[in-house]
Amino acid sequence: MNSVKAGTKKLCLLLFALLLPWQISAAEVSSPKLAIVIDDLGDNLKLGQRAVDLPGPVTLAFLPHRTFTKRLAERAHGLQREILLHQPMENSHDRWLGKGGLLVEMPTDTKRSVLLNSLASVPHVVGINNHTGSVMTTDMASMADVMSVLIEQDLFFIDSFTNPESVAWQVAHYAGVPFLIRDVFLDNEVDTQDLQQQYALALNTARSQGFAVLIGHPYPETLDFLEENIPRLSAQGIELVPASRLLVIPDRIPQRLKDLFCQPQGRVNCAEH
């Protein structure tokens, strides 16, 4: 009898050992995912290095043709960070775009040339997101020009959603370009209370819809905050992932955007796409 019990115990332990990897894998699949994107990199070396060295797989978006872009992007690549082109686009606030900026009035060939040159200025790019762009991201023809280049270059697109009337994600959706939409801006204000509030909103969004895209900037206050809080994510039940990991989520259009854009009220028949 004792030998039977011992044999049963060994069998249970063996089954547990075999099932444990599956249980861990299932837990990883089901845990809420958070992508943190740091924009506006390339102008400041010290702050850029701090952003690159943030703990975990933070996604880093570099402005084109900037003094420290290549140096920082190479450092980021060495740390296996995901790298985006932070592409300047026309805005409604007369904000300076710098070299590599895209304007609605540019001919298609000019947009293409400017974008390709911007991409060439940032090594190891896997996707792009828009820097400003409150005008350009509402123009379907301009965004179609952008998406045609991304299709050729096999890149994905993150709509920073600087304008609630943006059609950038919609054009990407129709063009078959993998895309994401920014859920929360972390640091429109950089006092501690506001940072905590926006960060909590991002975590709650991840828990409610399964994932969230949080965008921040290389401000000293933001970097201080993330250096302290990123290591706590695992204990909070949130998995920090590169932005590309979220592209595989089947239903990645947040409900708030479906309400804005899907028919009958909006422009897109989301049931067919």
The per-residue DSSP string of 181-194 comes to: E--EES-SS-SHHH
Q: Identify the segments of the chain with pLDDT beneath 70.
A: 1-29, 248-273
Can you give the pLDDT at residue 263? 56
Tracing tokens 């854009």 back to the chain, one arrives at 261
Q: What is the pLDDT at residue 29?
A: 52
* Fold annotation for 32-272: TIM Barrel (3.20.20)
Helix (H) or strand (E) holding 23: helix 2-30
pLDDT of residue 141: 92
User: What is residue 182's predicted lDDT score, i.e. its pLDDT?
Assistant: 95
Which residues, including other chains, have CB under 8 Å from residue 123's CB and lie 6 or more apart? 70, 73, 74, 77, 83
* Residues 128, 86 contacting (CB under 8 angstroms): yes
Burial of 82 (0-12, 13-18, 19+ CB in 10 A): buried
Please tell me what DSSP assigns to residue 127: E
Predicted pLDDT at 270? 58
pLDDT at site 217: 98
The whole-number pLDDT of residue 28 equals 46
Give the integer Cα–Cα distance in Å for 207 and 204: 5
pLDDT at position 97: 94
Residue 13 is predicted with a pLDDT of 40
The Cβ of residue 113 has, within 10 Å, a number of other Cβ atoms equal to: 13
String of DSSP letters for 41-95:
ETS-HHHHHHHHTSSS--EEEE-TT-TTHHHHHHHHHHTT-EEEEEEEE--SS--
Instruction: Please write the tens of the pLDDT for every residue from 24-34.
Output: 343 345 799 99
As a residue count, the chain comes to 273
Torsion of CA 240, 245, 251, 256, to 10 degrees: 50
For residues 151 and 112, the answer to whether their CB atoms sit within 8 Å is no
What confidence tens digit (pLDDT) does each residue in 154-178 have? 999 999 999 999 999 888 988 889 9
Q: Angle 108-120/140-153 helices, nearest 10 degrees?
A: 40
Report whether the peptide linkage leading into residue 254 is cis, meaning its omega lies within 30 degrees of zero.
no
Predicted local confidence at residue 266, as pLDDT: 53
How far apart (Å, rounded) are the C-alpha atoms in residues 34 and 234? 11
